[in-house]
Amino acid sequence: MSNPTLNDDGDQFDVRRLLTDERSRGIVLQLAVLLAVALVIAFITANTLANLQRAGLASGFGFLTDTAFFDINQKLIDYTSQSTFGRALVVGFLNTILVSAMGIVTATLIGFTAGVLRLSRNWIISRAVTAYVEFTRNVPVLLQIIFWWATLTALPKVRDSLSIGDAAYLNNRGMRLPAPILEAGMEWVFAAVFLGIVAAIILSRWARKRQEQTGQTFPSGWAGLGLIIGLPLIVYYILGQPLEWDVPVRKRFNFDGGFNVTPELIALWLALSTYTGAFISEIVRSGILSVSRGQTEAAFALGLRPNQTMRLVIIPQALRVIIPPLTSQYLNLTKNSSLAIAIGYQDLVSIGGTILNQSGQALEVVGIWMAVYLSLSLLTSAYMNWYNKRIALVER
């Protein structure tokens, strides 16, 4: 509490006032904290320099150009054991992104479905989904990852693979799928997909204008989907089906052809999807519940049908509540993908760990990890802030 007027020393500097005057107390406190932090940093730096010198390690990121001398079994870009540490890290990063992106897509599908089903009036369905959600949420994700991996690697050996329609095979080394071989002309099919998307957008714009002017509705959603799928299909058949499949063929000890999806990737993807999906289902459910019943009643009273009510009234309001925690869950999924190291999926953390062991450059590797994940985090936060500002309901 400041008592400036009670002290009739007036302008005389009083040391005691340093602690009692609110403003100067704040400054003193901050200076103290700054001093403490500076001391700790100095202590750490001194020790670090001494320890590094003792171990004969150079600091700095020069080691990234050294040869890696280890192989990576899943690589989305070219990489051999002669490539650099730097390139190895990039491969690891891409693997992280791959499994995270796959996981986000399926987790969203699972989560939204489960969330909606849990609200169903059907007692059995809602209880069954609740059981799934409660069990998955209360068991550590690492355990789930290891469980799926153990189950997948307990599948029959390659020689006794389970076949799915003689085109795909499941065994303890993963899943063998037919690889697409793009022949000449396939690029036109891809162009047609792009054209289809553009056409769908134009169509929906035209349909909206038409509705504004004449009031008639047009199913631009279904039509757009038809364009995106139909146009490429037509081009595909006109050009004589320029797509071949390299179907895996059973040989004595292995398969010829096709490509392999490792059990590590499948296990990680399954575990992350079901685990995060359970959390997303809770977010979706509470988002839908957050829209008051009165909104639905008012819409019905105006004559809107249930699907129109969902689309025009409920979902826009529910999404406002759903999207921020949903983006958090996406970020959590990406961070949880780092548990890949426990089952040998070579993501950023796993490869970083190998590099750390081989080169001893612990600080730099850990620094790279932090930088990558922090950037993803901050990007997500920035997006969420932008989104929240943009769609905030305008109030008094």
Partner 1 sequence: MYEPFHRTSDDMLAERPAPATTVGVIGWLRTNLFAGWLNTALTLVTLYILWLAIPSFIEWAFLDAQIVGDDRFACTGHGACWAWLDQRMGQFLYGFYPSDQTWRINIAFVLLFPALAPWMMENVPGDRYLRWFSVAYPVIAAILIAGGLGLEPVTTDKLGGFSLNLVVGLAGIVLSLPIGVVLALGRQSRLPLIRWFSIIFIEAVRGVPLITLLFVSNIILPIFLPPDMALDSVIRVIVMVTAFASAYMAEVIRGGLQAIPKGQYEAAQAMGLNYWKSMRLIILPQALKISIPGIVNTFIGLFKDTTLVIVIGLFDILGIANAMVSNPDWLGLSTETYVVVALFFFAVCFSMSRYSIRLERRLDTDKR
Partner 2 sequence: MSATEDHATASSETPAIEIEGLNKWYGAFHVLRDIDLDVAERERIVICGPSGSGKSTLIRCINRLEEHQEGRIVVDGTRLTNDLKNIDAVRREVGMVFQSFNLFPHLTVLENCTLAPIWVRKTPKAEAEAIAMEYLERVKIPEQATKFPGQLSGGQQQRVAIARSLCMKPKIMLFDEPTSALDPEMIKEVLDVMVDLADTGMTMLVVTHEMGFASQVADRVIFMDEGQIVEQNNPDEFFNNPQSERTKLFLSQILSH
302's contact among partner 1, partner 2, none, with CB below 5 to 8 A by partner kind, is partner 2
Bin 214: left if φ > 0, else alpha if -120 < ψ < 50, else beta.
Answer: alpha
Nearest partner of 228 among 256, 269, 189, judged by Cα? 189
Interaction of residue 140 with partner 1, rule CB under 8 A: yes
Query: Which tokens in the block code for residue 187?
Result: 């690029």
Residues in contact with partner 1, shown as a per-residue x/- string from 308 to 337 under the rule CB under 8 A: ---------------------------xx-
Instruction: Work out whether 307 is an interface residue with partner 1 (CB under 8 A).
Output: no
> Should residue 131 be labelled a site residue for partner 1 when binding is judged by CB under 8 A?
no
The β-bridge partners of 182 are 243
**Least CB distance from residue 311 to partner 2, whole Å?**
9
Of 131, 120, 116, the residue nearest 318 (C-alpha):
116
Which of partner 2, partner 1, none binds 394 (CB below 5-8 Å, type-dependent)?
A: partner 2
Stretch that binds partner 1, among 50-58, 105-113, 178-186, 244-252 (CB under 8 A): 50-58
What residue 396 binds from partner 1, partner 2, none (CB within 5 to 8 A, per partner kind)? partner 2
Q: Are 159 and 254 in contact (CB under 8 A)?
A: no
Are 276 and 311 spatial neighbours (Cβ–Cβ below 8 Å)?
no
Give Cβ neighbours of residue 286 (< 8 Å, ≥ 6 apart): 321
DSSP codes of every residue in 182-227:
E-TTHHHHHHHHHHHHHHHHHHHHHHHHHHHHH-----HHHHHHHH
Tell me if 349 contacts partner 1 by CB under 8 A: yes
- Figure out which of the listed residues 18, 39, 139, 382 binds partner 1, where binding follows CB under 8 A: 139
Considering only residues 24, 30, 53, 211, which one is a binding residue for partner 1 as defined by CB under 8 A?
30
Environment class of residue 11 by beta-carbon count within 10 Å: exposed (0-12), middle (13-18) or buried (19+)? exposed
Tally the residues of the chain: 396
Q: Which is nearer to partner 2, 15 or 301 (CB)?
A: 301
CB atoms within 10 A of CB 208: 13
Contact positions vs partner 1 (CB under 8 A): 1, 26, 29-30, 33-34, 37, 44, 47-48, 50-52, 54, 120-125, 128, 134-135, 137-143, 146-147, 150-151, 154, 335-336, 338-339, 341-342, 349, 353, 356, 362-363, 366, 369-370, 373-374, 376-378, 381
